[in-house]
């Protein structure tokens, strides 16, 4: 029989006063289902475990993170190119309404922390002395948001609740203020809970707490209790969404989607729990709730991205690995009291390490792309040969080569999404695996287990793990905890030289970077390992002498035991003339370090004069960045019936500790047709400097480009050479872009010199999303000739269609004066949409372009400006019309209305006045898709 609520509360708070242990929270809550409101009366016993005297308490009030567009959560989502909360209607948002705060029936003052609207400050009636406690009563209402914003909230008659109540912030020499940033990392002390949650009868409530139900129609009260809890997730729904499995602890989950018998799921769960118990220790609670949202917010990347049509992994493995990842995360987060915002690497590392070990034990032959690796045409790709666990060093290499990686100790809210969700987790897990192999097994596993068991119900930090493991070995681990963890220094060793004698082999190993770590040297015979030897303290070069044995290849890091920047120079053939023979591969693939790879695919393009341009594209750029790049594209035009093509050769260098992201120098050339039966040759040596973003969470960047463009155009027979037939232009350009979702600013400064002219121009673009979710585009162009000795308008500024004498733009028909191709508009120079008879300026031009969205992709536009030619006064032109902005800068249509030409819809051949923007470059389309992730 249930004790009366009064005695429950009495015993709860008497116990809390007598034993100064955990903070304690008692809640009486009622859910107004239809209005998405939770009415809460809460008593909190807060213990001052510090040595400081406190006059103010702070509570995490994360439901308030959804209150408006100015919260840290809304701003964070905007950084991720998610505007859904910023523009959400008031009824879709969440909030907390504080009705009363008191202590001993005396009202207390409360306030929102500056710059932290989801942190509630409560001024105490008197000082709270060290080791003393205080009871705070709060009466408040939580408006539950829709789950569109973070995955938690209300959707389809279901409440998926997390971080839904007030919890005391942590005081550790100072208050730790953490706003909700959609990272699921609330930091709060272990707390004992008593919750009486009243719902309309007929609803199901699921939790991992002790649970007794009391029904008094039309209501049902759920009495929930639990000690030493860090999180109180609840799931409330009309229909039962969670399954319970007969395991120890009892697993409660809604992670499904795969048709499997419950008996098989139970067997898998028992295996997973036994594995975790073996590697960590027993789970301290009777129930463990695994929410599908936990997995969806941090999935097995690569698993979900593969096409389901091919059933790449099969139901059992897919459900097993998904569940194991979500289960492991919940297992760790519910028992480790650690600040995941500042010290996440150890939890990330343990989770990834356990996944690696689990796959090694139960799925050693599983490949990274599953059954897709068996498909004809794919099975010969290097990526098809990668094991499932090979993806960890692969993804790290991808980030490190681009210099996108960040130190493992970087605060989580300063990490890029790519690093926070993937790269840093992988690097941390590989680091523990690296240690494990270097220490010959056992030590890392036993240290993780000891760390887990000592951390249960205690506050901990990653340094505690460091102290545990360093006591278990005499080997120096400074390289790991000082450099591998705290910096983004990259490991890269090479076998520089190999010398053979009658009975021995001498090799020289070189450290190419500024970090000194253990190196694994292997002897290989027909892909089988003959020996493995760990080498230490190679800070520059080191000579190693080995007795000749039954191996024909020496390799470093053969098993990818540690993340390394470059594997291509890690081995030497003891016999054979060619260390790395040439290998041709169709399409871009993962690097095979044992070959010089040449990739090829089909290149297809189009222009009016060449027709469909088709041919092979030969290149050496794999998925990872390289320093030396080439691309050769011989093509054939179906209209021109001629061999055409393009080629480029580039050297790029990505420094680390500078403000420069990348240096590039190279040369490019092309030969296509610019008019019917008339070809052009373009050759351009160039150099560029790309500057780093302020941080990897910032967007955009800046660059300085210098290039010398040489153009030689074929001319009609028996015609004189014109100035536009053969010319050279020196071009210096600086560009800056900050493409934020609300305020998008870009500008360029362009300087051109030729023997016939010199000009300077600037282009400023600003795009803004207004508070009403309308888009305003504004562009300003200012250009002037420094000198101009040309005799035609080919090099002049143009109002509506630049001549593109440097062949930068993707014109379908660059020489057309009428027809469909002429209607293509490139927003450059004047940027006008209406077509004028005399659009050129050989002195200067100043124009402005603007557009404003009125509904979805329908906008109004207007252009206005002055331009001047020698010997004439400045002229003014304007136009206006309707813009259909389907995909900004990729697919747009312009319908002119009123302009300096008059009201154009009433004029002859109006259809020929309609302009369009189209971009077919796949690299630009890919950049559009992935923005906000890197």
Average pLDDT, stretch 534-547? 94
Contact in structure between 184 and 347 (CB atoms under 8 Å): no
CATH topology of domain 5-241: Immunoglobulin-like (2.60.40)
Cα distances from 346 to residues 28, 351, 437, 862, 896, in angstroms, run 36, 9, 18, 56, 60
Both tokens of 638, joined, read: 């179906």
pLDDT over threshold 80, residue 576: no
Q: Could you give the percent of the chain with pLDDT greater than 70?
A: 95
Task: Go through 22-32 and write b for each residue having 16 or more CB atoms within 10 A of its CB, e for each that does not.
Answer: bbbbbbbbbbe
Please give the C-alpha separations between residue 283 and each of 22, 315, 429, in angstroms, as whole numbers.
Answer: 19, 27, 21
The vertex-763 CA angle with 759 and 765, nearest 5°, equals 175
Instruction: State residue 480's pLDDT score.
Output: 97
Contact yes or no for 636/613 (Cβ under 8 A): yes
Q: Taking a C-beta distance cutoff of 8 angstroms, is the pair 9, 43 a contact?
A: yes
Which is higher by pLDDT, 364 or 626?
364
Of 37-51, 194-208, 337-351, 356-370, the least confident: 356-370
- Among residues 117, 97, 120, 95, the alpha carbon closest in space to that of 108 is found at 120
CB atoms within 10 A of CB 852: 16
* Residue pointed to by tokens 């959804």: 66
Listed in sequence order, the residues at least 6 apart from 782 whose beta carbon sits closer than 8 Å to its beta carbon are: 761, 762, 844, 845, 846
Q: Lowest-pLDDT range, 64-68, 315-319, 321-325, 905-909?
A: 315-319
**C-alpha to C-alpha distance for 55 and 175, rounded to whole angstroms:** 12
CA dist., res. 336 & res. 188, Å (int)? 11
Which tokens sit at 544? 């190693």
Euclidean distance between CA atoms 802 and 809, whole angstroms:
9
Q: How confident is the model at residue 7 (pLDDT cuts 50, 70, 90)?
A: very low
Average pLDDT over residues 215-241: 96
Question: Coil, strand, or helix at residue 691?
Answer: strand
- For strands 250-253 and 287-290, give the pairing: parallel
> What average pLDDT score do residues 102-131 get?
96
Which residues make up the CATH 2.40.160 domain(s) of the chain?
Answer: 654-930
- The beta strands (E) that lie in 332-406 are given as none
Question: For the segment 16-32, what is each residue's pLDDT rounded down to a tens digit?
Answer: 444 448 999 999 999 99
d(CA 795, CA 807): 12
- Calculate ∠ Cα 777-783-786, nearest 5°: 165
Strand 23-32, strand 191-200: pairing:
parallel
State residue 578's pLDDT score.
60
pLDDT at 914 over 80: yes
pLDDT given for residue 302 in this prediction: 74
pLDDT of residue 500: 87
Q: Which helix (H) or strand (E) holds 28?
A: strand 23-32
Cβ partners under 8 Å of residue 682, min gap 6: 669, 670, 671, 709, 710, 711, 807
Arithmetic mean of pLDDT, 410-425: 96
Structure tokens at 847: 């124009």
Q: Helix (H, G, I), strand (E, B), or coil: what is residue 321?
A: helix
Over 60: is that where the pLDDT of 13 sits? Answer: no
Strand partners, 287: 250
Cα 528 to its chain centre, rounded Å, is: 37
Structure tokens at 312: 């790449």
Task: Quote the radius of gyration of the chain (alpha carbons, Å).
Answer: 33
- Sheet with 158-161, side-by-side order of all strands: 153-155, 158-161, 234-237, 204-206
Helix and strand element counts for the chain (H, E): 13, 48
- Specify the pLDDT at position 768: 93
CB 287 within 8 A of CB 252: yes
Q: How far is Cα 487 from Cα 484, in angstroms, rounded to an integer? A: 6
What is the rounded distance in angstroms from the CA atom of residue 857 to the CA atom of residue 887?
Answer: 8
Q: Phi-psi region for residue 377, left (φ > 0), alpha (ψ -120 to 50) or beta?
A: left
Average pLDDT of the segment spanning 546-574: 90
Fold for the domain defined by 255-488: Neutral Protease; domain 2 (1.10.390)
Confidence of residue 10 (pLDDT cuts 50, 70, 90): very low
Copy the structure tokens of residue 494.
């090479």
pLDDT of residue 471: 96
Contact (Cβ atoms closer than 8 angstroms) between residue 494 and residue 510: yes
Q: Residue 132: pLDDT band by 50, 70, 90 thresholds?
A: very high
Return the closest-CA partner of residue 261 out of 248, 243, 274, 247: 243
Q: Which helix (H) or strand (E) holds 53?
A: none
In this prediction, residues 370-394 reach a mean pLDDT of: 85
SS (H, E, C) 30-52: EEECCCCEEEEEEEEEEECCCCC
pLDDT the model gives residue 12: 43
Contact 64/118 with Cβ under 8 angstroms?
yes
For residue 272, pLDDT beyond 60: yes
Averaged pLDDT score across all residues of the chain? 92
- For CATH 1.10.390.10, the residue range(s) in the chain are 255-488
Structural tokens at position 528: 């089988």
- What does the pLDDT read at residue 720? 86
- Give Cβ neighbours of residue 414 (< 8 Å, ≥ 6 apart): 406, 695, 697
**End-to-end CA separation in angstroms for the chain:** 57
**Cβ contact 910:928 at 8 Å:** no
Q: What is the pLDDT of residue 9?
A: 43
Query: Given a cut of 50, is residue 261 above it in pLDDT?
Result: yes
3-class DSSP state for residue 15?
Answer: helix
- Please give, one letter per residue, the 3-state secondary structure of 455-497: HCCCECCHHHHHHHHHCCCCCCCHHHHHHHCCCCCCCCEEEEE
Cis link prior to 218 (omega < 30° from 0)?
Answer: yes
Euclidean distance between CA atoms 418 and 440, whole angstroms:
32
Task: Look at residue 306 and tell me whether its pLDDT is greater than 70.
Answer: no
- For residue 849, list its beta bridge partners: 779, 863
DSSP conformation letters of 512-540 = -SS----EEEEEEETTEEEEEEEE---SS
Beta-bridge mates of residue 689: 663, 704
Instruction: Give 771: exposed, middle or buried? Use CB within 10 Å, 0-12, 13-18, 19+.
Output: exposed
Structure tokens belonging to residue 34 = 């239809």
**Topology (CATH) of 654-930:** Porin (2.40.160)
Report pLDDT for 622: 82
pLDDT value, residue 880: 98
Q: How confident is the model at residue 241 (pLDDT cuts 50, 70, 90)?
A: very high
Closest CA to 391 of 437, 362, 355, 351: 355
Query: In whole angstroms, what separates CA 629 from the centre of its chain?
Result: 26
- Domain boundaries 493-579, CATH class: mainly beta
What pLDDT shows up at residue 589?
Answer: 81
């Amino acid at each position: 029989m249930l004790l009366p609520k009064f005695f429950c509360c009495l015993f709860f708070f008497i116990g809390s006063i007598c034993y100064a242990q955990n903070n304690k929270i008692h809640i009486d809550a009622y859910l107004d289902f239809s209005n998405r409101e939770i009415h809460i009366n809460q008593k909190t016993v807060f213990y001052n475990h510090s040595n400081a005297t406190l006059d103010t308490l702070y509570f995490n009030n994360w439901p308030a993170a959804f209150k408006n567009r100015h919260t840290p959560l809304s701003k964070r989502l905007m950084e991720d190119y998610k505007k859904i909360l910023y523009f959400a209607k008031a009824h879709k948002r969440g909030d907390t309404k504080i009705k009363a705060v008191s202590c001993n029936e005396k009202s207390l003052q409360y306030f929102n922390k500056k710059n932290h609207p989801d942190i509630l400050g409560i001024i105490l009636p008197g000082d709270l002395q060290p080791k003393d406690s205080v009871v705070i009563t709060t009466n408040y209402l939580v408006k539950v948001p829709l789950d569109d914003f973070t995955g938690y909230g209300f959707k389809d008659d279901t409440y998926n609740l997390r971080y839904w109540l007030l919890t005391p912030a942590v005081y550790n020499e100072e208050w730790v203020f953490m706003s909700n940033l959609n990272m699921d990392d609330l930091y709060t002390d272990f707390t004992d809970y008593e919750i009486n949650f009243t719902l309309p009868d007929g609803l199901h409530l699921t939790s991992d707490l002790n649970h007794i139900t009391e029904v008094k129609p039309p209501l049902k009260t759920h009495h929930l209790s639990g000690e030493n809890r860090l999180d109180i997730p609840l799931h409330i729904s009309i229909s039962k969404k969670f399954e319970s499995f007969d395991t120890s602890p009892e697993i409660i989950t809604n992670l499904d989607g795969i048709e499997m018998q419950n008996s098989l799921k139970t067997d898998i769960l028992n295996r997973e729990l036994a594995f975790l118990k073996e590697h960590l220790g027993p789970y301290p609670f009777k129930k463990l709730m695994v929410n599908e949202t936990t997995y969806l917010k941090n999935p097995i990347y690569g698993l979900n991205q593969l096409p389901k049509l091919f059933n790449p992994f099969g139901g059992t493995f897919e459900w097993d690995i998904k569940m194991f990842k979500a289960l492991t995360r919940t297992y760790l987060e519910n028992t480790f009291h650690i600040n995941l915002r500042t010290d996440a690497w150890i939890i990330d590392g343990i989770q990834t390490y356990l996944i690696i070990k689990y796959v090694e034990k139960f799925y050693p032959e599983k490949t990274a792309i599953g059954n897709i690796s068996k498909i004809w045409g794919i099975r010969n790709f290097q990526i098809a040969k990668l094991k499932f666990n090979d993806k960890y060093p692969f993804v790290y290499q991808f980030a490190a080569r681009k210099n996108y990686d960040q130190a493992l100790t970087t605060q989580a809210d300063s990490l890029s999404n790519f690093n926070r969700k993937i790269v840093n987790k992988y690097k941390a897990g590989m680091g523990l695996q690296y240690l494990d192999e270097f220490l010959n097994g056992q030590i890392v596993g036993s240290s993780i287990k000891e760390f887990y068991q000592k951390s249960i119900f205690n506050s901990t930090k990653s340094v505690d793990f460091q102290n545990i493991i360093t006591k278990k070995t005499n080997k120096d681990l400074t390289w790991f905890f000082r450099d591998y963890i705290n910096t983004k220094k990259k490991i890269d060793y090479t076998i520089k030289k190999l010398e053979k004698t009658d009975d021995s082999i001498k090799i020289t190993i070189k450290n190419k970077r500024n970090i000194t770590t253990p190196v694994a040297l292997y002897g290989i015979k027909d892909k089988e390992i003959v020996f493995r030897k760990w080498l230490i303290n190679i800070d520059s070069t080191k000579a190693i002498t080995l007795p000749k044995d039954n191996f024909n290849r020496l390799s470093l890091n053969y098993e990818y035991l540690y993340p390394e920047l470059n594997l291509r120079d890690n081995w030497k053939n003891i016999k054979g003339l060619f260390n790395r023979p040439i290998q041709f591969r169709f399409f871009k693939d993962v690097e095979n370090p044992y070959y010089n790879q040449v990739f090829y695919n089909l290149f297809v393009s189009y222009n009016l004069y060449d027709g469909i341009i088709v041919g092979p594209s030969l290149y050496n750029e794999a998925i990872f960045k390289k320093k030396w790049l080439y691309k050769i594209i011989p093509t054939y035009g179906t209209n021109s019936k001629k061999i055409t093509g393009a080629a480029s050769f580039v050297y790029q260098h990505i420094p680390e500790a500078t403000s420069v992201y990348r240096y590039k120098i190279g040369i490019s050339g092309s030969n296509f047709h610019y008019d019917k039966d008339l070809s052009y040759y373009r050759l351009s040596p160039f150099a560029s400097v790309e500057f780093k973003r302020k941080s990897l969470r910032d967007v955009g960047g800046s660059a300085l480009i210098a290039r010398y463009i040489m153009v030689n155009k074929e001319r009609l027979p028996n015609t004189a050479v014109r100035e536009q037939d053969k010319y050279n232009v020196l071009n210096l350009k600086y560009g800056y872009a900050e493409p934020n979702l609300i305020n998008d600013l870009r500008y360029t400064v362009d300087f051109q010199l030729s023997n016939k002219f010199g000009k300077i121009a600037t282009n400023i673009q600003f795009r803004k999303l207004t508070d009403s979710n309308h888009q305003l585009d504004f562009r300003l162009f200012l250009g002037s000739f420094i000198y101009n000795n040309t005799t035609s308008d080919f090099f002049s500024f143009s109002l509506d269609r630049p001549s593109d004498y440097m062949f930068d733009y993707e014109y379908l028909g660059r020489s057309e004066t009428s027809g469909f191709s002429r209607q293509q508009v490139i927003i450059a120079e004047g940027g006008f949409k209406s077509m004028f008879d005399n659009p050129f300026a050989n002195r200067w031009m100043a124009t402005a372009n603007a557009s404003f969205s009125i509904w979805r992709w329908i906008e109004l536009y207007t252009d206005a400006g002055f331009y001047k030619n020698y010997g004439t006064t400045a002229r003014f032109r304007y136009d206006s019309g309707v813009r259909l902005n389907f995909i900004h800068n990729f697919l747009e249509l312009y319908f002119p209305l009123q302009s300096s030409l008059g009201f154009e819809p009433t004029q002859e051949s109006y259809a020929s006045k309609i302009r369009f923007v189209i971009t077919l470059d796949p690299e630009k389309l890919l950049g559009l898709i992935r923005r906000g992730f890197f």
